[in-house]
Amino acid sequence: MKTLISNAHLFDPAQGLDRPGAVAIMDDTLVAVGEVPADFHAERHLDAQGALLLPGLIDLCARLREPGQEYKATLVSETRAAAASGITTVVCPPDTDPAVDSPAHIELITRRAQYGSGVRVKVLGALTAGLDGRQLAEMAALKQAGALGVSQALRPISSPVLLRRAMEYAASHDLTVFLHPLDASLAGSGCVHEGPVGTRMGLPGIPQAAETAALGVILALAEQTGARVHLCRLSTARATAMIARAKDDGLRITADVCAHQLFLTQHDVADFNSLCHVIPPLRTEQDREGLRRALAEGVIDAICSDHQPHEADAKLAPFPSTQPGISALETLLPLSLKLVSEGVLSLAEVITRLTRAPANILRLPLGQLQVGQAADLCLLNPHTAYCPQPENWHSQGLNTPFFGQRFAGVVTYTMVAGQLIHSIDARPI
């Protein structure tokens, strides 16, 4: 099908686009950006009404709960939430039930994704068999089946020796290793940041050293093995300083932060608010400012949602017994845009960290408004207010601390490979 999107404000920092224009789409591909040839006769014409036309957003971490935890959410419900949020590609970590440690599990998720909203679902394979941290998974077979990288998620690995072997194996097959810098022995049974707030609450804490100690080992092994490493969900300012030095030394590393770590701190759990129970924990104001600074300086490459939908009961127990995580797909873009209004990043920097930067980390030809690329698009009205509430929430998980907050910016439509998968007021002509 030939599609024309007119009256848009094209915005793509990767292409230097920030101007009014139109795009033409042939089937699943962009064939014109800016000026559309006079002989292009569209079968479908959408009026963007002056809204921002962006590359589709790419989320580096979204737990879709299939297979194994469909009582929390499903691929169908969560890809619908992603589509409504302008997200066209999501990456599923391997800590499903069972873990994604074989080609059959990747095939299962890929097949189930065909019944979703149309959002691209990409998969990380398990670093170790069953994510048990003791025996390496068959990474070569996982890559051949479509895994974009390998990860241990938040599961511990038995020893630095095994981690070294894993990184050597991954490097030999040109696979990116996605690692969470969290030392399980130092974290123990902690559920909040180790500091005065957690002490007053009487809750076991996770020290900053749990992140920095693990990060030190990872960086040393990355240098030793030459592996390509992506560092997931940073939470401390000290860690960003270590990454900055490692990047200066030429290590092949990238890093991300989840959006809620850029706004919430340890004080948000001071009233035992289980909706703010996350791992890694919310830390100090100084850590939050350090993360923001590292993002602005490019030390942190990308922003992700770290989406973890839960059933209601998962957040109703005493705080240490509640399950960590926030349902976050639908606040990824609103929170990121808030960084613009607060003067932390420019709009171009925010969009880069949601599009081209994660595409580069995943080594996917996505995240740009470029002729010849897939027509993955997001139309954003930046002047319309959005207030998340249970009644306008798409995810099956209602576990978010952001209900009732007012944000600027509403996604009016989302397109994947030329297919319109979400629309609320794009006007067909």
Could you list the active site residues?
Answer: 306
> In 3D, which of 213, 210, 197, 152 has the Cα closest to residue 177?
152
Helix axes 103-113, 75-84, angle to 10 degrees: 60
Q: What is the DSSP letter of 324?
A: P
Measure Cα distances from 240 to 58, 221, 252, 291, 415 in Å: 22, 18, 15, 7, 35
Specify the pairing of strand 44-47 against strand 120-123. unpaired
As given in the structure block, the two tokens for residue 320 are 């240490």
Measured between alpha carbons, how far is residue 97 from residues 50, 52, 67 in Å?
A: 45, 39, 6
- Residues forming beta bridges with residue 178, ordered by sequence position: 151, 230
Among the listed residues 195, 151, 201, the one whose alpha carbon sits nearest the alpha carbon of residue 176: 151
Q: Would you say 258 and 232 are in contact if contact means Cβ atoms under 8 Å apart?
A: no
DSSP strand pairing (253-258 vs 229-231): parallel
Which residues are CB-neighbours of 358 under 8 A, at least 6 positions away?
Answer: 58, 59, 60, 89, 256, 301, 302, 304, 367
> How many CB atoms lie under 10 A from the CB of residue 249?
10
Exposed, middle or buried, 129 (CB in 10 Å: 0-12/13-18/19+)? middle
Q: For residue 98, what are the contacts with CB-CB under 8 A and spacing of at least 6?
A: 67, 68, 105, 130
Please, how many CA atoms are within 13 Å of residue 347, restricted to the half-sphere of its CB?
14
- C-alpha 289/C-alpha 296 separation (Å) is 11
